[in-house]
Amino acid sequence: MSATAPSRRVRLTPLTVRDYLVLLLAVLVVVLPLGYMILASFKGPGDLATTDLVVFPEVWQPENYSEAAQKVPFGRLFLNSGIVTVVGAGLKVLLAILTAYGLVFCEFPGKKYVFWGVLATMMVPPQVTALPNYVFISSLGGENTYWGLILPGLGTGFGTFLLRQAFLQLPYEVIEAAHLDGAGHWRRLWHCVVPMALPSIATVALVNVVYEWNDYLWPLIIITDPEMMTLPRGLTLLQNSESAASSFGVLMAGTVMVLLPILVVFALLQRHIVNGFTQGGVKG
């Protein structure tokens, strides 16, 4: 019980026990609902439409997944989400790299104001621009198209901000040496700056991947054709087409398809993702 003697080894003091209980509770609070969701996606009507607590399905019914895929073209939605995520996040990262490079390594009068103008966009939530963008994009025929889905979200304040910070911290001598060797801006960018800033670029990429995969409001507004929907958008369709209590199995199957890919990516790269989301404290 002596809290005064600091020790590197873990002793089972009441404090340690208390902290373990807190952590255990926190982990359970996160894991149990997600686990329950996954189990529910395999439940048949009998296990669903009951007031009793059924944790494990009595009869495993993987047909929920094929049924969900019948009601909503999930294969196609996966593809759409994949395209939007890869293209959207990829272009955003590219734009952020170019903008940050210009802001850090090029000369321009009033460069600072350009930076502020880009930075200030982080204050504008997509919901505020949604209505005029919808009017604009649909007038151009962008409803139910990939470009209509991707284009309006491409301008990036967050990525520019983060990469500018990263580029400012790079060893200037290396880039200057390349300059003296006769390397132009383009060469310096791709042969010096990008390789050195790769961890930051990866972080920005991951944050954007997560953001694009989960994005909901814009796809909700601009896409009405099931064939063009992204996964979260398709869930809405599934939710609207299902109303009976027993249909939760199908709905949970759809939800698992939306949540699981991000969970897998997170499990593999959690350190980078946590860093990305806690730097600057903004999403997207």
Under rule CB under 8 A, which residues in 21-80 are in contact with another protein?
22-23, 26-27, 29-31, 33-34, 36-37, 40, 48-53, 55
For 155, other C-beta atoms within 10 Å of its C-beta total: 14
At residue 172, the 3 state secondary structure works out as: helix
Residue 79: which region, alpha, beta or left (left: phi > 0; alpha: psi -120 to 50)? alpha
Return d(Cα 230, Cα 235) in angstroms, integer: 9
Residue 66: which region, alpha, beta or left (left: phi > 0; alpha: psi -120 to 50)? alpha
**Stretches 15-23, 67-75, 82-90, 166-174: which one binds another protein (CB under 8 A)?**
15-23
Kindly identify the residues of this chain, within the stretch 157-196, that bind another protein according to CB under 8 A: 157, 160, 185
# of chain residues touching another protein (CB under 8 A): 96
> Is residue 259 part of the contact set for another protein (CB under 8 A)?
yes
CA atoms within 13 Å, Cβ hemisphere of 164: 22
Q: Which of 155, 165, 194, 226 binds another protein (CB under 8 A)?
A: 155
Nearest one of 229, 232, 228 to 255, comparing CA atoms: 232
CB of 201 to another protein, least distance (A): 15
What does the DSSP 8-state code read for residue 31? Answer: H
Which residues in 136-148 are b (16+ Cβ under 10 Å) and which e? ebeeeebbbbeeb
**Stretches 68-76, 173-181, 191-199, 211-219: which one binds another protein (CB under 8 A)?**
211-219
Q: Which of 154, 174, 177, 198 binds another protein (CB under 8 A)?
A: 154
CB of 181 to another protein, least distance (A): 18
Q: Which of 59, 79, 124, 177 binds another protein (CB under 8 A)?
A: 124
CB of 194 to another protein, least distance (A): 13
> Is residue 217 part of the contact set for another protein (CB under 8 A)?
yes
